[in-house]
Amino acid sequence: MTSVAVNPRDRWIPWYFVLFFVVLALVDGAMVTIAVRTQTGVVTTHAYEKGLAYNQTIAAAEKQTALGWKSTITFTGKGEKAGALSVAVRDAKGVTIKPDSLRAEITRPTQAGMDFSQALKSGENLIKFPASGLWEVRIFAMRGDDEFQQAKRIVVP
């Protein structure tokens, strides 16, 4: 019978595999904990119904493109958590349009529960925000049966 000399360091090899998987499990556990604790709750409400209405969304986008309207959205900070929002809507020829109704839906893409809507008038509109930071302004202009919308992200001081 032949005896094989075993190096004392070789006895640790199985434990290296165990240690690898323990470290892997700890890192995975830390990542899952961080993901669960930092989830902001930004979720689409009624996602199934919105998915079913996708063809209507595409048709509305095509109708808006056919109108040829363009808009300019400008925001100027006017102090802490406030600013002036100006919206100008023009037709395909560049002539300024006076919409029947003009409103803005203002959402915070990084935090749920702060969204609000505000009616706008032509010219400068003073808007107070619940918090400083990044916001998305989506304007809706209606004239007769024609509807136009455009979004712009702004930073509120």
Distance CA 119, CA 85 (A): 11
- 106 in Cβ contact with 69 (< 8 Å): no
The mean pLDDT of 77-101, rounded to a whole number, is 90
* pTM for this model (two decimals): 0.66
Q: Give the full edge-to-edge strand order of the sheet including 70-77.
A: 70-77, 82-90, 123-128
Distance CA 125, CA 122 (A): 8
Q: Does the pLDDT at position 103 exceed 90?
A: yes
